[in-house]
Amino acid sequence: MRIQPLPPQLVNQIAAGEVVERPASVIKELVENSLDAGATRIEIEVEQGGVKLIRVRDNGRGIHPDDLSLALSRHATSKISSLEELERVSSMGFRGEALPSIASVSRLTVIARQAGADQGWQLSGDGREEAGGLTPAAHPEGTSVEVRDLFFNTPARRKFLRTEKTEYGHIETLVKRLALSRFDVAFSLRHNRREVLSLPAAPDRHAQERRVAGLLGPAFLEQALYLEQGHTELALSGWVAHPTFSRSQADMQYFYVNGRTVRDRLVSHAVRQAYSDVLYQGRHPAYLLYLSVDPVLVDVNVHPTKHEVRFRDGRQVHDFLFRTLHRTLSETSPGQGVDRETGEILSAAGVAEPGAVAANQRESQQPGAGQQPFRFQLKDQRAGYRASLDLQRPPPAMGVAATHPEQQEIPPLGYALAQLRGVYILAENAAGLVVVDMHAAHERITYERFKRDRAGEGIRSQPLLVPVSVAVSQREADLAESNQALFSGLGMEVDRLSDQALVVRAIPVLLQGSDAERLLRDLLSDLVVHGESGRIQEAIDQVLSSMACHGSVRANRRLTLEEMNALLREMETTERGDQCNHGRPTWVQLGMEGLDRLFLRGR
């Protein structure tokens, strides 16, 4: 067959295969156009999961009547006009393919009215090559796009659509993602003429958190840490959930780059590293994060759906994300302070309703032999007990002024009262009762001490009795040769034997007995993909975690009040003291209100 040009309609339908996968894909393109048009209110209406009808209306700038026909032409756009603008593109859409692609597989109508215009104008198409003529139409300022009978002229595509419930589920998920990307815009969603979402604009932090709680659930916000960090080229803000609020699947991970939702391996790797030693195995963190990058430093034109991006300096972005998140998660300790008015511990973890404590019992807390001495120094504990006892004294007689300066000096986790079943420490603080899992708490304290010791001395290496030769590609050999300092800092000695061969002569002492070849290949794989590797650190951290577990106080170990209080004080100064090495909580707070509800006080 001879080479020949394709008909324009077929070209558009082929392009539709890239950008119009299902009804949700249509809504994504239309809503992004509305956002680019400066809309502050976007109304979305669908019927039968979007197959019968999709209507998106906004209050944006509208479209000039002379441009309406161009809007349905391929590669016609108002968003870029030169290569320089493409390299710094900040709009959500810019290819000029969405509307013509949608029009080629549906019955499409566009009605638009510009600000200050006397009337709106309408343009319709029914999947054919040429759209109909312009006609006047009544319409408020802004644009409405109506898509009916999606894939009516491409039955093979329509057969791949799922049930109405499934397709609508994709739409609702998408609208939530869009609503989380732009707090300054009001969104509404109706399905089969029933209102599902009505979200007013959220101009301030309080209103934004109200939207987040409404879309992701109040539990996420209650267990989330807010962060805001950055400089000229890179800035990160948003919420990361405490490790104890982990998920069985990665269904609550929202990451935006310059307002665009993305799924990126580099981002996922940086987040996973930040959670590396605080998350239970097999669990997934929850987060809602916004990365702002100079547009010239990120390429958003990698994929037709723009779900993927490419950073000009991926390593810089990875390091920035990891450091920022790692620092935020490191600050989760019960020693950050106490609210002077409520007595509440200023930390994202450890708040529980009565009845939640029993769920934290673990299999690892079994009675063990050969207990090590409890290694806490005792400092000024008796003064603390006096302050605790003073709080329990009867109040002064009526009319006698009294102050309790000791109450202001009560540490966040308070003072120990007793030990329960050799597993939990019961303590009293300004807010009420604190219950501490002593094994989990001591495990975290011991683990962080091991890590500090390692950081001070560096990672010691162990020469291999028999060096291990590893066949690699030339690229991997070049990477290993140019990263000698990295390997040395990780306690490994790796030399180049030839163009495609390396030899491992030493590995970290804590990893002796490990598979040296597999370790090297994993490291090289990380260097190829991410430009760096944290595998050795993670492997050593796992060893240290196991050591900390074995070296920590076991269940059924009886502690004195002095020892219990020493443990509480150490928890307050330990990074990540709110959870053990496996991401489980080390303490919970039972406030007076919760206890009163338990005993029906005040009813």
Q: Is 230 helix (H, G, I), strand (E, B) or coil?
A: strand
Phi, psi values for residue 320, rounded to 5°:
-65, -45
Nearest one of 212, 210, 211, 164 to 191, comparing CA atoms: 164
Q: How far apart are CA 284 and CA 9, in angstroms?
A: 45
108 in Cβ contact with 125 (< 8 Å): yes
| Least confident interval from 8-22, 24-38, 386-400 | 386-400
List strands edge to edge, sheet with 260-261. 224-230, 234-241, 287-293, 253-257, 260-261
Contacts of 423 (CB under 8 A, 6+ apart): 361, 365, 437, 438, 439, 555, 556
Report pLDDT for 72. 77
Q: What DSSP character marks residue 66?
A: G
Please write the tens of the pLDDT for every residue from 73-132: 765 555 555 555 555 555 665 445 678 888 888 999 999 999 889 999 999 888 776 667
Task: Name, of 362-376, 461-475, 542-556, the range with top average pLDDT.
Answer: 461-475
- Packing angle between helix 314-330 and helix 516-530, nearest 10 degrees? 110
Largest CA distance in the chain: 105
Q: Which of 214, 267, 220 is nearest to 241 (CA)?
A: 220
Contact indicator for 240, 225 with CB cutoff of 8 Å? yes
pLDDT at residue 550 in the model? 60
H/E stretch holding 215: helix 205-216
The answer to whether 44 and 24 have CB atoms below 8 angstroms apart is no
Please tell me the distance from the alpha carbon of residue 508 to that of residue 58, in angstroms, as a whole number.
60
Alpha helices in 558-601 (DSSP H): 561-572, 592-598
Q: What is the pLDDT of residue 548?
A: 66
- What amino acid occupies position 515? D
- For the beta carbon of residue 415, count every other beta carbon within 10 angstroms: 23
User: Could you tell me if 413 and 571 are in contact, meaning their C-beta atoms sit under 8 angstroms apart?
Assistant: yes
Q: Please give the order of strands across the beta sheet that includes 493-498.
A: 461-471, 501-508, 493-498
Residues 115 and 156 sit within 8 Å (Cβ to Cβ): no
Over 70: is that where the pLDDT of 498 sits? yes
What confidence score (pLDDT) does residue 25 get? 92
The length of the chain in residues reads 603
pTM: 0.70
Distance of CA 430 to the CA centre of its chain: 33
Give the range with max mean pLDDT: 171-180, 263-272, 317-326, 337-346.
171-180
Q: Strand pairing of 461-471 and 424-429?
A: unpaired
Angle between helix 516-530 and 474-482 (nearest 10): 90
* pLDDT reported for residue 368: 37
* pLDDT on residue 568: 93
Range with the largest mean pLDDT of 23-37, 344-358, 527-541: 23-37
Tell me the β-bridge partners of 572.
none
Run of H or E residues at 288: strand 287-293
By CB atoms closer than 10 A (0-12, 13-18, 19+), residue 34 is: buried
Q: What would the pLDDT profile of 567-587 be if each residue is shown by its tens digit?
A: 999 999 888 888 887 778 899
**Under the phi-then-psi rule, with left for phi > 0, alpha for psi from -120 to 50, and beta for the rest, what region is 343?**
left
State how far the alpha carbon of 309 is from the alpha carbons of 182, 272, 295, 319, 457, in Å.
Answer: 19, 19, 11, 17, 39
Q: Please give the Cα distance from 358 to 366 (Å, whole number).
A: 15
Q: How far is Cα 435 from Cα 427, in angstroms, rounded to an integer?
A: 6
State the burial class of residue 402 (Cβ atoms within 10 Å of its Cβ: 0-12, 13-18, 19+). Answer: exposed
Amino acid in the structure at residue 305: T
DSSP 539-557: HHHHHHHHHHHHHSPPTT-
pLDDT digits (tens, 9 = 90+) for 214-251: 999 999 998 899 999 987 789 999 999 988 888 888 88
Q: Which phi and psi (to 5°) does residue 45 adopt?
A: -130, 130
Listed residue (427, 425, 460, 453) closest to 439, CA to CA: 425
Q: What is the pLDDT of residues 364-380, one digit of tens each?
A: 333 333 344 444 444 43
Question: Residue 180: which H helix or E strand, with range?
Answer: helix 164-181
Q: How far apart are CA 544 and CA 330, in angstroms?
A: 17
Contacts of 239 (CB under 8 A, 6+ apart): 212, 220, 221, 224, 225, 226, 227, 287, 288, 289
